[in-house]
Every structure is written in structure tokens, then in C-alpha cells.
Structure 1
Amino acid sequence: MKNRILSVDIFRGATIILMVLVNTPGTWSNVYAPLLHAKWHGYTPTDLVFPFFLFIVGTSIVFSYQNKMVNNDTYKKISVRTLKLIGLGLFLGAFTVTFPFLKNWTDIRFPGVLQRIGVVFFFASILFINLKWKTLIWVALSLLVGYWLLMTLVPINGIESTLDRAPNNLANWLDVKIFGTHNYKADYDPEGFLSTIPSIASSLLGIFTGLILTSKQEKKATLLMGIGGSFLIIGHLWDIIFPINKALWTSSFVLVTAGWANLILALIYYLTDVRKIQFGSLFRYVGSNAIIIYFLSSFISKVMGQIPVGDTSLHGWLFQKIYVHDFISMEISSLLYGLSVVAFYCGLAYFLYRKKIFIKV
């Protein structure tokens, strides 16, 4: 069991490192191309990062609750953790460095990454501890198919719904109706209301992987690779009629990202558990304090971007003074800044791990 959890920790840690790297370029005007999200339909390697984390949340749920007696205290702990995650996310959306340290009400973003993690964790945990795995398959399938039907068949104010970024896109329309000015963008939020439904399925697919890893199945890595490959094929076929799209978290996107997650996790499992190759300690350190590392990186980056230095911010000043040079392209400079940030948080994660400090949210 220890080795299996090690495999999951390595995957989780690598995912958090990528989340930090993607979120902290030197400048958003010149992002290193591989770290860019797809403009709308389609996906890049960067678009895999957040669904990978929701997937591994599901896998971790199995390790946490599979053999535990479920009682009122279990539901309390799940609820408290959910509220902590949502609270941290709302804090990030509301904080500003100027007194009274809160943005104007209309400028506060309500949805967010941590909020989605909290909601997904809550529903995936409740479903897991109450339903058998066969029933969970039907739940996941219902979420994916139901979301597809909602997004393609429900008209908006009498106008046929579209999957483009437009007012008659059901997910975008609901985000504006529900959150108003509290979205990431004026017309939608990538962690919006309706798209959270299929993101729960991302975590449920991670639960199935966790069940395989804790089962008595032989050749688990081979089985996970087969499942991952199948998800990729089905997801890309579904893309023909329901495009792969991270902002909408389409059902095809769920399957494709879960496919890649299974393939990568299968490889890690094979190397660490089957071949007994020791690697990935750095990822394990970060994975052991995943949420707090992500939160701190987001919070400190936000603060540095708001502290004025001359005609720029502390973030901009550091980037210009240390990383911008005539002999380096701005994209590479931006990447080097991000890598420096990642190195700092990897060092922090190592320190916390060596001191046996594990901050559970």
C-alpha cells in the first residue's frame, strides 16, 4: 500500500509543480508557447494539468475512505475540508494588498480552482462512500452524457445553443446569470457552474483507477494503460460532435484527460511498484503538501503583482531586472522566471517534508 500511495504522491506532486509553472510566467504577454492553454476548442499539454489534479483527487479518495467505517464524523470531515478549500479559493479571489484588503464587491471572483476542487471532492467522496463501483460507473456515464445533451439540446432564449464562446452557449449564459460580474471573464468562467458537473466525473474516473490500484488484480499497469488508451480513443471520437474544450469541461475533454492520466500513472506505477526503480522524490515532497503549496504560490504571486514598484509591480520589477536580457527571447525569460518560482516552492516542499510538517486542508 505504501508503494501505491507513493505512485499517487509522485503524480500529484508533478501535477502541482506544473500548476505552479503554468500560473506564474514572467509576463502573461510573452508566455512560453507549450505553457499556453488552447484558445477554445482543442487542448494543449497545459490543459491536462488541472483535470489531472481532479483525477488524482478521486484516486486519493479511495486510499482515504475505502476501508474506513463511515459515520457522522466522516461526513463532518468531508464537509469541513470542502468548506476550507472553498474558503481559501474565495480568499484568493477577494484579497487585495490595499486596505481594507478586499476588492470591491463587484470585482470579486466567486468560482475558482480551489472552489472547484472543494466541490468535486465533496460530491466524489459522498458518492464513493455510499455507492458500489458498478453504480458509480452509471453515475459517471450519466454525468457525461447528460452534460452533452444539456449543452447541445437546450436553447437559450429561443436560440439554438452553441458550443462557441457566445451568449447562447448554455454554460456561459448560466455563468453570467448566476455570478454576474463575479466571473473570471465578463462572459464566462472556466471554473463555472455548469461545467463543474462533468468535472465531478473527472474525479470519479480517478476513483476507478484507485480501486484498481488497491485491488488484487494482476498486471495493474497493463490494465490502466488499456483503460487509458480506450478513454483517449472514445474521447477523440466524441470530439467530432462534442469538441474537446477545457473552458467548457466537455465530456470528450473529461475522457481524453483521464486517458492521459491513466497512461502516465500506469507508467509511474510500473516503474516504482513493478520494477522497483526509485525516483521522483522531489515530486513526492510537493505531493505531500500539495494544496498548501498551490495556495501559497497563488497568494504570493497575487501579492507580488499588486505591490507597486516604480511604474510596474514587484513581480514586474524582478522579472525585468533579473530575467530580461537582449540575448534571450521574452518567452524564454518568462519561462525562466516560472522555473525559478517552481524551484522555490520545491525547496519549501522539501523543507516541510524533512521537518515532517504536513499541512492538511
Structure 2
Amino acid sequence: MIIVNTPGSWGSVYRPLSHASWHGFTLTDLVFPTFLFVVGNAMSFSMRKFEQTSQAAFLKKVIKRTFVIFAIGFLLSWFPFFRDGQLKPLEDARIFGVLQRIALCYFFASLVIHYFKIKGALVFSMVALLGYHLIMYTMGDYTLEGNAALKLDLWLLGPNHLYQGEGIPFDPEGLLSTLPATVNVIFGYFAGLFLQQSGKNFKTIALLMIGGATLVFLALGWDLLFPINKKIWTSSYVLLTVGIDVMVLAFLVYGIEILQKKKWTYFFEVLGKNPLFIYILSGLFVKLLFIFSIEGSSSYGWIAENLFMSWLGDYFGSFVFAVCFTMILWGIAYVMDKRKIYIKV
């Protein structure tokens, strides 16, 4: 996510590191839904402890975590809070965003899984995906300007509170598309639970591969009616990303658990032990680099142009800048891990 979010220049980005402009799919379009899938996977471990607690304790924990993650996402979007010596007006602040979507998907998935159990969560997922398709089909079209998700956000929030980077006010993390995105979390929970119950063996890997391939096949079929599209988070997009994630999980189980090839994993574990903190830190660093200037340009742009792109070329220099930025954050995460500092919500 950090590499995608921090190229040296947005005009010089390799195609796989860019989102699909509208309908379609790139490698980058897999990143965010995979984050949600991982949230659900982690919930397959954490939700068990709530079975022995009171309803009040469960709701308190879930609501608190949702609020904190949502608030952090909102504040990160609003930062820096001052412009020209005055507090930035809230009436122009974007309400939704990446962390806000993670918070809401976690909230709804937690309630569905806790109260409806496995069968109920499966029914909810099917109804959510089919219902979302029905809403998008009957209440609008599948274009940027005419989709139902945009219409709802404009009605609830108004244009000033939406993302402004699509040419018109439109939020790819808006309220309505949070419904199918919640299914990514629920399927991540299913995958984690299945893995725990079935064990790490060849049969489990085979079933995961078959399940993932089936979801991808269904997604490609659904794409003919409801095109794969990240920005409106179509139901076919959910099935495609979940299917790929399940197959990737099968490969990881095979390599790490069965072949015992574990040495390469530590690089990723470092980031995985403080993912929320590192992601927030990346956003703050970028905004600070844009605030401070060097020779009349933002620090971000000056560093990218003069230290990377001027001698590595536009595209490769832009990519290397993103990698180096990520590695600085990895270094911070590495020091935190060595000192046993783990920041959780």
C-alpha cells in the first residue's frame, strides 16, 4: 500500500502499480481487499475470546476499536489541521477513507459473525453481494457519474466531504460500497477458521485452491453482468479478490508450514507486527514532506526529482523513490520489533 501511495511522481507510475482507471483489474487493486481479508483472518483467532464474555463487553470492545480506527483515518485525512494560520474548516473535510473503511468493515463483520454465526454470516454475504448488485443496477448505472454509491454519498454528505481526485466529487471508500467490502472481511474469517479446523496439510491446501479457483471463475462470469471495479467495489470484484487471496493463502501454507521455508518471512513480519502504526506514519511523513519546501518545490517533489528521477529516469526513479520510502518505514518497524514495541488498537 505504501509503495502504491508514494511514487516519486504520479505521472510516472508503472501500470501494475496503478489502479484500474474504472472497470478492470491490476495488481494494485488486490492490495486493499487483501488488507480486509487479513483483518478477517485475524478475527478468526480473536473472536473466540468474545464467546466467553458478556454482550456489553463485546460491543464495548468492537465499538471502541471501530471509533479509534475511524477517528485516526479522519484526522490523518484532515492533517495538517491548519492552513494560512487558521483551522481548516470541517465542512471541507473528507469523511471516508482507507482506515475508515477498515473500521466500518471490521465493525459490521464483527456483529454479523458474533450474532449470526457461520451460517448466518454466509447468508449475509450472499445477500449483501446480490443485494448490492440489485441496488447498483436499479438505482443508477455503472459509470463514475451515475452510480448509486455516489448518489447516496452526495445525498448524505454533500460533495465537499467526498474524495476530489476522480475529476468529480466521488469517494471510492463511500458508505454504500462498504456493504460488499464487508464480505472481504467475512471471507477472510472463513478462510482462517477453515485453516484452523482442517489443519495445515495437503488436503487443506487442495480445498483452498479449489475454493479460490471457483470464486475466481464465478467472478469472471459475474463480470459480464456487473463489471469488476474496485472504485465502486462491485460484487464480482469481491469474489475475484477473495478467490486470489484464498489461493495465495494456500501457497503460503504450503511453503511456510509444509516445506518449512520460513527465513524469507521475517521481512514481512516486521511490518505485519505494527501495520496500522506504520501505515499512519507513512501518511504523516508524506504530508510533512509536502508541507516543507526546498528551492520553491515541496520536499517530496524535490527529493524525488533530484535524488532519484534525474539520474534513474522518470518511471524507474519514481519506483525506486517509493521503495526507498517504504524501506525507511521498514527500518522504523524493525527497530520497534527488536525493542518489542507493538502498537495495537
TM-score normalised by L of structure 2:
0.93
Q: Secondary structure at the match of 1:325?
A: helix
Supply the AA of the counterpart residue of 1:287.
Answer: G
Structure 1, residues 204-237: CA drift from partner, whole Å, max 9, x if none?
1111101111103552222111111111000010
In the alignment, is the contact (CA less than 8 A) between 1:66 and 1:129 conserved in 2?
no
Following superposition, the deviation at residue 272 of structure 1 comes to: 1.2
Cα distance between partner residues in 2 of 1:20 and 1:251: 26
Cα drift, residue 322 of structure 1: 0.7
Q: For 1:188, what is the secondary structure of its paired residue?
A: coil
Residue 244 of structure 2 aligns with an amino acid whose one-letter code is: W
1:30 is aligned, of 12, 25, 39, to: 12
Structure 1 letter corresponding to 2:340: K
Alignment of 1:160-199 (within 5 A): 161-166=140-145, 168-180=146-158, 181-185=160-164, 186-199=168-181
Unaligned ranges ≥5, structure 1: 1-18, 155-160
Match of 1:132 in 2: 117
Residue number among 176, 181, 195 corresponding to 1:213 in the alignment: 195
**How far apart are the structure 2 equivalents of 1:285 and 1:101?**
39
In 2, Cα distance between equivalents of 1:70 and 1:57 = 21
> 1:46-61 residue pairs with structure 2 within 5 A?
46-61=28-43
Aligned length: 335
- Runs of at least 5 residues in structure 2 that lack an aligned partner in the other structure: none
Deviation string 1:139-177 (CA, Å, 9 cap, x unpaired) is 1001000000000012xxxxxx210112x3211111222
Q: 2: CA distance between counterparts of 1:170 and 1:292? A: 34
Q: Which deviates the most, 212-221 or 32-41?
A: 212-221
Give the aligned partner of residue 263 of structure 1. 247
Whole-Å separation in 2 of the counterparts to 1:325 and 1:269 = 42
CA distance in 1, matches of 2:137, 2:71: 33
Q: CA deviation at 1:200?
A: 0.5
The one-letter amino acid of 1:313's match is S
For 2:127, what is the secondary structure of its paired residue? helix
Q: Which residue of 1 aligns with 2:331?
A: 347
Q: 1:96 to 1:237 in 2, by over 3 A?
A: same
Cα RMSD (Å): 1.5
Matched to 1:75, the amino acid is: L
TM superposition shift of 1:347: 1.1
Asked whether 1:83 is paired with 2:67, we answer: yes
CA distance in structure 2 between the partners assigned to 1:80 and 1:35 by the alignment: 34
Q: Does structure 2 retain, via aligned residues, the 8 Å contact 1:97–1:307?
A: no
1:311 matched to which residue of 2? 296
The counterpart of 1:334, out of the listed 318, 325, 328, is 318
**Alpha-carbon spacing, 1:102–1:124, altered in 2? closer, same or farther (3 Å):** farther
Task: Give the counterpart letter for 2:103 in structure 1.
Answer: G
**Bigger Cα displacement from structure 2, 40-49 vs 130-139:** 130-139
Partners of 1:256 and 1:101 lie apart in 2 by 46
Asked whether the 8 Å contact 1:70–1:129 carries over to 2, the reply is: no
Structure 2 distance, partners of 1:242, 1:305, is: 39
Q: Amino acid of the residue matched to residue 35 of structure 1?
A: L
Amino acid at match of 1:203: V
Following the alignment from structure 1 to structure 2, what is the Cα–Cα distance between the partners of residues 47 and 329? Answer: 25
Letter in 2 for 1:172: L
* Residue 63 (structure 1) shift: 0.8
TM-score (norm 1): 0.89
Deviation (angstroms), 1:128: 1.6
Q: How far 1:97 moved relative to its partner?
A: 6.4
For 1:40 and 1:101, locate their aligned partners in 2 and report how far apart those are by CA, in whole Å.
37
1:274: which partner in 2?
A: 258
Moved more, 183-192 or 335-344: 183-192
Classify 1:262/1:102 alpha carbon distance in 2 versus 1 (closer, same or farther; 3 Å): farther
The residue that corresponds to 2:107 in the other structure is 122
Query: Which whole-Å CA distance do the structure 2 matches of 1:245 and 1:164 have between them?
Result: 10
Say if 1:43 and 1:245, in contact at 8 Å, map to a contact too: yes
What letter matches 2:108 in structure 1? F
Q: Which moved more, 1:47-56 or 1:100-109?
A: 100-109
CA shift, 1:67, in A, is: 4.6
Q: RCO greater where, 1 or 2, for CA within 8 Å and sep 6 or more?
A: 1
Q: What does residue 246 of structure 1 align with?
A: 230
The answer to whether structure 1 residue 321 and structure 2 residue 300 are counterparts is: no
Residue deviations 1:228-269 (CA, integer Å, cap 9, x gap): 111100001000000000000000000000011111111111
| Residue aligned with 2:197, SS | coil
Does structure 1 conserve the Cα–Cα contact (< 8 Å) formed by 2:36 and 2:102? yes
1:360: which partner in 2?
344
Q: Name the structure 2 match of 1:107.
A: 92
Q: Which of 214, 220, 223 is 1:236 aligned to?
A: 220
Distance in 1 between residues matched to 2:86 and 2:274, nearest whole Å: 27
**What's the secondary structure of 1:241's corresponding residue?**
coil
Match of 1:132, SS state, is helix
Contact 2:81 2:88 in 1 (8 A): no
What is aligned with 2:53?
70
Alignment partners' CA distance in 2, 1:47 and 1:210:
22
Identity of aligned residues (%): 36
Amino acid in the other structure paired with 1:34: P
Contact kept, 8 Å, 1:147 with 1:251, in 2: the verdict is: yes
